Amino acid sequence: MPFRLFSFLMFQLAGGLSGWWLGREWGALAGVVLAGLLWLAADVARGMRVLQWLKRGDTGEAPSLPGLWGEVSDRTRRLLRQCEQQTRGSETRLQEFLAAIQASPNGVVLLDKQGRIEWCNQIAAEHFGFDAQRDVLQQIGNLVRDPAFAVYYAAGNYSREITIPGRGSTASWPVRISVQLHPYGDGRKLLLSQDVTALEQAEAMRRDFVANVSHEIRTPLTVLSGFVETLRTLPLNERERSRYLGLMAQQSQRMQTLVDDLLTLSRLEGSPPPGADGWTPVPSLLERCLQEAKTLSALITHGEGAGHDLHLVYAPDPRSAGEIAGAPNELHSALSNLLNNAVRYTPAGGVIEVLWRMLPDGRAAFSVKDSGPGIAPEHLPRLTERFYRVDRSRSRETGGTGLGLAIVKHVAQRHGAELHIDSAPGRGSTFSIVFPASRIKGPRAGVPEPLATPDAARSTESLQK
């Protein structure tokens, strides 16, 4: 400000002196007026430079001016830089916040007062089929057309969540999305979504599991209680008493088998995977499974009349099968379950072929092939579910619990193996477990064990009463 006043006075003095020298009194007056106009023009020019600089918005190159306008431009440049830094910091925090929402496992949609989409993360786009760029400012009601959501949105009561079908949901593979609105700000809403398909499936499995266990235990208990009441109230001869006691023992054994299978599943799910340092001879493992299959066949065919038999066929020299690493009890349970299932579902006169062979890549495959009725394709994906049965009546007749293949699946997974099922109605079934090479040692890889055929040397035993 002093420089501004000083420059103005100097202009006036110079103009007055110049006018006095040219025209005395009137010349001095004209000189003072002209000098004032010139100073004002120069000052306006400096102000215009500052204004043009402000219009350009270039904070890096402020005009270098003396006096008041120089101070104005310098202070303005400093303020603009501070604002830029604050804006840049706010933008960084906003991007970090949006990145955090993007990383959320839940869907997030921001809605304005009119219910239009302001922003959504990728999870929400997947849940509802949005396009995060194209659908901005689109009405949420135009994109989410589920009737339950329309009623929920219009009611205005957002204290609870609702569940609607998700994108791509079908009858065979339902997708369920949990949705809840949260009002905030001045009429805006936050829409949160979560994929609850797995939770609902787990809850359904839990209900089915409890119902199936209750049903499986209730049936033999009902039989047992009926026989106990009969023994208590009716005079029976020795033959009748022995028959009833045998049936009671059969039902109690059925419950014991169910409990044992449930405990096996619980142990498999709750324990760490077995190591690869304990080796079990495959021949002894197969022999144990084969002996149990013979015993089971005798129990199942007992009482069905003479002539009912099964033929069990296996490789002639199991001693060449080598060793397998893992938990012996688990491996025995898996192989035995596959073989016992074949015994249960193969009709009289059928053939069961058991094969252990080395694969060219060093892996080993255990397979059980039966001549049973076969399994329709729609049942194959669900065979390893707990208590799932293709034929419930047949399974109960043979004493199955519906947990065998679930146990096989868990054992295979814990040993890094693969379970393969090949079956079709009318041509029997083949169940195979392929073990990784890291768990196998024995004969040279690439030389398969011979499959027993009618014209090859083999051991065939008739399983009958």
What is the predicted pLDDT for the residue at 9?
A: 64
Nearest C-alpha neighbor of 137 from the set 115, 107, 153: 115
Q: Tokens 């009349």 sit at which residue?
A: 305
* Domains detected in the chain: 2-99 (no CATH), 104-195 (3.30.450.20), 200-271 (1.10.287.130), 275-464 (3.30.565.10)
Note whether 111 and 143 are within 8 A (CB): no
The values of phi and psi at residue 264, to 5°, are -65, -45
Residue 453, amino acid: T
Concatenating the DSSP letter of every residue in 241-273 gives HHHHHHHHHHHHHHHHHHHHHHHHHHHHHHSPP
Give the number of other CB atoms < 10 A from CB of residue 68.
Answer: 18
Long-range contacts of 84-90 (CB under 8 A, 24+ apart): 84/59
Half-sphere exposure in the Cβ direction for 391 (13 Å, CA): 16
* Greatest Cα-to-Cα distance within the chain, rounded to the nearest angstrom: 160
Per-residue pLDDT of the chain (465 residues; tens, 9 = 90+): 565 666 666 766 666 677 667 666 666 776 666 766 776 777 677 777 767 766 776 666 666 666 666 667 777 777 877 887 888 888 888 888 878 888 888 899 999 988 899 888 888 888 888 887 888 888 888 888 889 999 999 888 888 899 988 887 777 678 889 999 999 888 899 999 998 888 888 887 777 777 777 777 787 788 888 888 888 888 878 888 888 888 888 788 778 878 888 888 788 877 788 877 788 888 888 888 888 888 877 776 544 443 346 787 876 454 456 889 888 888 988 998 898 888 888 887 788 888 888 888 888 889 999 888 888 888 888 888 777 777 655 545 555 677 888 889 989 998 889 999 998 888 889 999 999 988 888 754 444 443 333 333 334 444 543
CA distances from 236 to 228, 231, 244, 253, 358 (A): 12, 7, 10, 23, 58
Bridge-based pairing of strands 351-358 and 309-314 is parallel
HEC string of 298-350? HHHHCCCCCCCEEEEEECCCHHHHCEEECCHHHHHHHHHHHHHHHHHHCCCCC
Give the number of other CB atoms < 10 A from CB of residue 465.
Answer: 15
What is the predicted pLDDT for the residue at 462?
A: 47
Contacts of 166 (CB under 8 A, 6+ apart): 127, 175, 176, 177, 195, 197
What is the predicted pLDDT for the residue at 248?
A: 85
Nearest C-alpha neighbor of 299 from the set 355, 258, 246, 222: 246
Q: How far is the C-alpha of 60 from the C-alpha of 54, rounded, in Å? A: 11
What is the predicted pLDDT for the residue at 250?
A: 78
